[in-house]
């Protein structure tokens, strides 16, 4: 299974691809889509969608992991980031990919072991976990970390699902309220 991780950003959106082989994650590729800050927002979003379509068409991922938007200090920055994230989700939906959304804290916890890790720590652990000679750029490292998080938590999430249980009989004090359907 190939996992595409995406770290949406208003000026740079990172992507990273890992392949899950059993319990092992293997590095495939990473990169950063840089958006021209002087261009109008609709043009930047169109470029981002086109680049992500190219990445999906070339690498054929099975699932995508996207970092959830955090609350920004400036409302305008949060709004622009929301637009970028929307463009990412549209590109993934057009490719008919399942999307897993992870918070930054969940991603850091899955990769570093603590939700409060710094970017440098994430970069170093991504390089170590995937056997890379050097740490990728911040945006690409965050995207690879999202893919790793998806790969690590997918099987764990399946184990945490509650087992189906047989319904128990209602206590005698509630039996008057229980109706049997014919």
Q: Name the percent of the chain in helix, strand, coil, to the closest 5.
A: 50, 20, 30
Q: Is 43 a catalytic residue?
A: no
Q: At what angle are helices 104-111 and 138-160 packed, to 10 degrees?
A: 90
Query: What residues make up the domain containing 33?
Result: 2-177
Determine the 3-state secondary structure of 176 from DSSP: helix
Q: What is the pLDDT of residues 97-144, one digit of tens each?
A: 999 998 888 999 989 887 888 889 999 999 999 999 999 999 999 999
Reported as type and span, the H/E element at residue 139 is helix 138-160
Q: What's the half-sphere exposure (Cβ side, CA atoms, 13 Å) at 35?
A: 27
Distance CA 106, CA 146 (A): 9
Q: What is the pLDDT of residues 139-161, one digit of tens each?
A: 999 999 999 999 887 644 443 44
pLDDT at 37 over 90: no
Q: Is residue 78 part of a domain?
A: yes
Q: Is residue 31 part of a domain?
A: yes
The one catalytic residue among 19, 43, 54, 67: 67
Predicted confidence at residue 54, as pLDDT, reads 95
Q: What is the CATH number of the domain that holds 37?
A: 3.30.420.10
Cα→Cα distances 151→52, 83, 131, 158, Å: 20, 26, 16, 12
Predicted confidence at residue 152, as pLDDT, reads 81
Q: Which two tokens stand for residue 28?
A: 């495939």
Q: Is residue 182 part of a domain?
A: no
pLDDT at 80 over 90: no
pLDDT band (50, 70, 90) for residue 176: very low
Q: Is residue 65 part of a domain?
A: yes
Name beta bridge partners: 46: none
The one catalytic residue among 54, 94, 106, 139: 139
Angle, CA of 98, 61 and 1, to the nearest 5°:
90
Choose among 97, 94, 75, 80: nearest CA to 35: 80
Q: Is 142 a catalytic residue?
A: no
pTM of the model: 0.81
Contact 32, 140 (CB under 8 A): yes
Number of domains in the chain: 1
């Amino acid at each position: 299974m190939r996992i595409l991780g995406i770290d949406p950003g208003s000026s740079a959106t990172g992507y990273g691809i890992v392949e899950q082989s059993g319990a092992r994650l293997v590095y495939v590729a990473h990169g950063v889509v840089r958006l021209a800050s002087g261009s109008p927002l609709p043009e930047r979003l169109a470029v981002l969608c086109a680049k992500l379509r190219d990445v999906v068409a070339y690498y054929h991922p099975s699932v995508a992991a996207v970092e959830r938007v955090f609350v920004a200090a400036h409302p305008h920055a949060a709004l622009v980031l929301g637009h970028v994230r929307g463009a990412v989700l549209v590109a993934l939906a057009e490719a008919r990919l399942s999307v897993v959304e992870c918070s930054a804290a969940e991603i850091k916890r899955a990769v570093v072991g603590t939700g409060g890790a710094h970017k440098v720590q994430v970069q170093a652990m991504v390089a170590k976990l995937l056997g890379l000679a050097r740490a990728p750029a911040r945006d690409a490292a965050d995207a690879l970390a999202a893919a790793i998080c998806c790969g690590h938590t997918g099987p764990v999430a399946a184990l945490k699902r509650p087992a189906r249980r047989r319904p128990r009989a209602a206590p005698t004090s509630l039996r008057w309220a229980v109706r049997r359907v014919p």
